[in-house]
Amino acid sequence: MFVVGCDSPPSAESPLPAVARVLLRTPLSVASVVSSFIALHPRAHDLWVSAASNAGESDVIALLDAGAARVVLDASSELFPSLPYDRIVARFSTADDLAVDAFKPAVNAIIVPADLSSADFLSSIAAIKEICKRKNMGLIVEDVSNGILSSDVVASLDKMGLDIILQERKTNLSTLSEYLFVCLVSDRADGLVATAIVDEQRVCLGVAYSSAMSLAHAIENKVGAYYSRSRNGLWIKGLTSGAVQALERIDRDCDSDCLQFTVRQAAPGFCHLNTRTCFGPDSGLTALQSTLQLRKENAPKGSYTAKLFDDSKLLHAKIREEADELCAATTRDDIAWETADLFYFSLAKCVANGVGLNEIEAHLEKRAKKVTRRPGNAKPGYIEKDSSSQAAAAASVPPVQGSPVLDIKMKVYDSTALSSSERSSLLLRPILNLSEISARVAPIIESVRTTGDAALIALTSKFDGVQLSSTVVRAPFSSESMRLDPRVKAAIDSAFENIKMFHAAQVNAGTLTVETMPGVVCSRFSRPIERVGLYVPGGTAILPSTTLMLGVPAMVAGCKEIVIASPPRRDGTPVPEVVYVASKIGASAIVLAGGAQAIAAMAFGTESVPKVDKIVGPGNQYVTAAKMQLQNDTKAMISIDMPAGPSELLVGVIADNDANPAYVVSDLLSQAEHGTDSQVILVAIAPTPTFVAAIQRELQAQGEALPRRDIVRVSISKSYIITVPDISSALEFSNLYAPEHLILHIEEPATVLPRIQNAGSVFVGPWSPESCGDYASGTNHTLPTYGYARMYSGVNTDTFVKWITSQEVSRDGLDAGGLGDVVLTLAEVEGLEAHRNALVCGLNEINFPFKMVYTIVVHLYAKDDPECIAKLHNKLVEASAVYSKDKETISWFVMQDHIDKRAFTIVERYEQESSQQYHLGNPYWQTFDPYVIPLLDRPMDLRRFNELEGEVPV
């Protein structure tokens, strides 16, 4: 056992009391401190208190009555004989075996200090341990060393059966979890420790395993965290389902080979089958409490259940009635019956006021620790009260009618009564962030990347329970593998044609061409993505419709290779409906795998699975996490369509009863049945109470009739109805929520389409149920969820194409059109010299400075020699054929009758600025090559030369 010595009580947020007993070192004589600690940590380990040196017998009794499990007194105290010995601990100032042996009072245990970092501390403690054993009292060793205790020392003391008081300043949650784990015993090769999970009433919810890592996470975060053998890593209960656990306390059994986690379990419960326990539905008082809480939230207005919670006089009358009837009962059966009635109405009183069983039991446990006993009497007026009159008065109260343990009902919120924070919370999805799921997905991705088909086969066996002989089925697919009922085949064919027609109309085969400046032509054209992977979920439903929704647009777009991944059936074969659609769309292969492993296989490629360039398709959180990870993995080099996750729905409904409740509810349930992590919302516009009641009745009736009602029961519990005053408010809420599906059950629904900003797909009017879009109307049902409709579109033909742009700039466009100057200026601003030079080379060729060449050469060489000038003229004329310059312009340059000094000044300045030297003294120029480009060492900055020409005065 660990005891942590603290100078002050731990805060309400501290997990410390959940793991170890707390000893308040600061001497106390005030019982209120103990009471406050118990209130903050009702399920904590025992609280030990050091009594003040001047504390009297009444002070110690008050501490015990307040809930202190043990009170620590100095060994020299004279109070021991008058106190309950089993609740008192004596503290010694030194580890002196003679002093301990001479100690006479009977106590529960003694505390001795020890330097646990010294090499011989065990030998010094051994003698005291034998004395305590002989005197039938416990021995607790208080660490007074300066360093942090090693795990080996803690384990050694624990094996000796010694309890340890740790110093708070040296003990953080990480070291405490480490100490606890080293004291555990495991008979498993992997070192995992069996862990029983119980609720606050010690009802066992299920069994799991703990590792050092999971134990540390649980303690540090006060959550139910365990080690998952199937996932080979950390499992935080409720992270994805919402059925979270708040950790209240950790205990170990007598042999230290099993842990017990006491938790507060959120609905629907611990089991993956959505029951509160893994051993079936809950029972007893905990089940009654859950039932009453649900009835309080969902009781129809005016019902007897609602009256019990709303009318305190009626409830109090029932409690008194049942108490009197219990008093009048005589037989065993009657006593049990009336006690059950009294429990029911007493617990109804508690639920009505937000009091839980855990608080009741905390008071019972606190009373069990009281030393002072109640006087054996009753309040005046109760002993002689006439029970018969009470029974007669209660005869007119009707009995409580039964109802299902968990009704299929939606919570109702009034938008006008919500604060801004409450309204914002309703816009949040029930799905938590992907960080934890990503940690689970990462090793799956790496396994597939490194071992390929072997990992795919192993993971399919692990997660799907299917042993594959082959990971891929390649086209052409056998007729046997797609044998279908003719009705099913005809339905698929019809849906195929509708989807094909709508998506073919989206194809844009033309080229967009725009002349942005004279001589500058830009264009855009599309090309199909060559290799695409389509993920078709399996699991709880067969989804040939998803194969159509992904495959038809890919086919229409012209993708050369289409690969489908979908979990296999139990016999290792693909679903026939999926194979049939795969054949129609021209798929090359079907990968027999689901989940993150299928996504990784298509992203990297394996020995049998072709690598693709883009992956599209919906899936659970693991599929979504894998897609998002891999699109950022440069080794995979893929893109994805969108982070499409569990389905959701938003429905707008008017309040004048023109909307048919049956139609509305059928739309809600069509999405709620997808999975327990789905969410549906009904936005009701100024609804009457009758309309809302009709919706709730339809939910119960239609939901209970569904084969997937257990899934619906959970998803509906996360869903809600929000009432709004008008259509504008409804659309405002819808646009903020950005639903995957938006169904309009309102008058003239088409008129509000221009006001819809964020939605995956809209279903207009009562004759456009969401199911039409799911299967066969022609639109696509793979849509953005989680609110991603704010920035993503659903799957469409463009999902499977990429757009390429081109630009063609003519000689005149670069020069006369002005594009060259624009680019030069921006390249200068950004300091990218190579970009700038790329333009300078072209512009210099176009605008070769014939006048400057003539000026330099004539001024330095020809001077007034007419024969040389004529020769230069002829050479420049020849050059004009190469550089496409106007011959008359060149002649004009040549025929100038004089060379002024201004031109030479310009050349000199340019030379000084740019450090470019004109090698005009080279013999090369004695012959004057007509291709005059080699005049300069590097491309000339024509723009700067022209600026200088403007700066030098004429």
261: three-class secondary structure by DSSP: strand
476 upstream amide cis, omega within 30 of 0: yes
Task: Round to whole Å and give the CA distance between 779 and 79.
Answer: 85
Task: Round to whole Å and give the CA distance between 585 and 602.
Answer: 18
Q: What letter would DSSP give residue 859?
A: I
Q: Give the pLDDT confidence score for residue 173 in this predicted structure.
A: 84
Q: Tell me if 683 sits within 8 A of 668, measured CB to CB.
A: no
Residue 329 dihedral angles phi and psi, to the nearest 5°: -70, 145
Secondary structure in 3-state letters for 167-200: EHHHCCHHHHHHHHHHCCCCCCCCCCEEEEEECC
Q: Structure tokens of 80?
A: 């021991």
Per-residue model confidence as pLDDT tens digits over 638-694 = 999 987 655 555 544 444 557 888 989 988 898 888 777 678 899 999 888 888 888
Q: Structure tokens of 705?
A: 């009739």
Residue 747 CB contacts under 8 Å (≥ 6 apart), including other chains: 654, 658
> What is the residue-wise DSSP string for 116-167?
TTSTTHHHHHHHHHHHHHHHT-EEEEEE--SSPPPHHHHHHHHHTT-EEEEE
Q: For residue 701, give the amino acid letter.
A: A
Q: Give the pLDDT confidence score for residue 917 in this predicted structure.
A: 43
654: three-class secondary structure by DSSP: coil
Residue 724 dihedral angles phi and psi, to the nearest 5°: -130, 155
Residue tagged active-site, from 325, 561, 740, 770: 740
Helices (H), 452-573: 453-464, 486-504, 544-557
Q: Tell me if 626 sits within 8 A of 448, measured CB to CB.
A: no
Task: Round to whole Å and give the CA distance between 156 and 149.
Answer: 12
Q: Structure tokens of 121?
A: 């501390």
Q: Structure tokens of 164?
A: 């340890």
Matching residue, tokens 């040939």: 544
Cα distances (Å, whole numbers) of residue 34 to 71, 74, 377, 477? 11, 19, 28, 75
Task: Round to whole Å and give the CA distance between 304 and 314.
Answer: 10
- Vertex 118, ends 115 and 122: CA angle to 5°? 80
Task: Round to whole Å and give the CA distance between 759 and 794.
Answer: 9
Task: Round to whole Å and give the CA distance between 933 and 329.
Answer: 120
503 is catalytic: no
Q: Structure tokens of 259?
A: 């842990």
Task: Round to whole Å and give the CA distance between 702 and 709.
Answer: 9
Per-residue model confidence as pLDDT tens digits over 17-37 = 778 888 888 777 677 888 887
Task: Round to whole Å and give the CA distance between 615 and 536.
Answer: 11
Q: Structure tokens of 94?
A: 């030194």
For helices 833-846 and 819-830, the axis angle rounded to 10 degrees is 160
Q: Give the pLDDT confidence score for residue 911 in this predicted structure.
A: 53
In 720-868, the DSSP E strands lie at 720-724, 741-745, 761-764, 801-809
Q: For residue 79, give the amino acid letter.
A: L
CA dihedral 241, 243, 248, 254 (to 10 degrees): -80
Task: Round to whole Å and give the CA distance between 798 and 691.
Answer: 42
Sign for the pseudo-dihedral over CA of 861, 864, 865, 867: positive
Per-residue model confidence as pLDDT tens digits over 855-887 = 444 444 444 556 655 655 555 555 444 444 444
Q: For residue 55, give the amino acid letter.
A: A
In 273-377, the DSSP E strands lie at none
Task: Round to whole Å and give the CA distance between 534 and 795.
Answer: 11
* pLDDT beneath 50: ranges in the chain: 384-405, 540, 651-655, 848-852, 854-863, 879-900, 915-940, 942
Q: Give the pLDDT confidence score for residue 889 in this predicted structure.
A: 40
For helices 850-857 and 866-883, the axis angle rounded to 10 degrees is 160
> How do 88-91 and 70-74 pair as beta strands?
parallel
Q: Tell me if 262 sits within 8 A of 246, measured CB to CB.
A: no
Task: Round to whole Å and give the CA distance between 641 and 454.
Answer: 28
Matching residue, tokens 């108490």: 323
> What is the residue-wise DSSP string for 805-825?
EEEEE-HHHHTTTSHHHHHHH
| Greatest CA separation for the chain | 147
Q: Give the pLDDT confidence score for residue 940 in this predicted structure.
A: 47
Helices (H), 465-506: 486-504
Matching residue, tokens 């080996």: 152
Put residue 55 in one of left, alpha, beta given phi > 0 → left and psi -120 to 50 → alpha.
Answer: beta
- Residue among 896, 877, 878, 879 at smallest CA distance from 888: 877
Q: Tell me if 298 sits within 8 A of 694, measured CB to CB.
A: no
Q: What letter would DSSP give residue 277?
A: B
The secondary structure element, H or E, covering residue 444 is helix 435-451
CA dihedral 273, 279, 283, 286 (to 10 degrees): -70
Q: Tell me if 268 sits within 8 A of 406, measured CB to CB.
A: yes
Q: Give the pLDDT confidence score for residue 358 in this predicted structure.
A: 79
Task: Round to whole Å and give the CA distance between 695 and 679.
Answer: 16
Cα distances (Å, whole numbers) of residue 451 to 229, 459, 633, 852, 923? 21, 11, 17, 69, 70
Q: Tell me if 235 sits within 8 A of 214, measured CB to CB.
A: yes
Residue 490 CB contacts under 8 Å (≥ 6 apart), including other chains: none
Cα distances (Å, whole numbers) of residue 484 to 143, 206, 489, 490? 75, 42, 6, 10
Q: Structure tokens of 562?
A: 């289409």
The secondary structure element, H or E, covering residue 263 is strand 258-265
Q: Report the residue count for the chain.
A: 954
919 is catalytic: no
% of the chain beyond a pLDDT of 70: 81
Radius of gyration of the chain (CA): 42
| Cβ neighbours around 818 below 10 Å, total | 14
What is the helix, strand, coil percentage profile of the chain, to 5?
45, 15, 35
Residue tagged active-site, from 45, 503, 741, 781: 741
Q: 166-199: b or e for each residue (b if 16 or more CB lie within 10 Å)?
A: bbbeebebebbbbbbbbbbebeeeeebbbbbbbb
Q: Tell me if 492 sits within 8 A of 549, measured CB to CB.
A: no
Q: In what order do the strands lie in the sheet with 761-764?
A: 411-414, 720-724, 679-685, 648-653, 741-745, 761-764
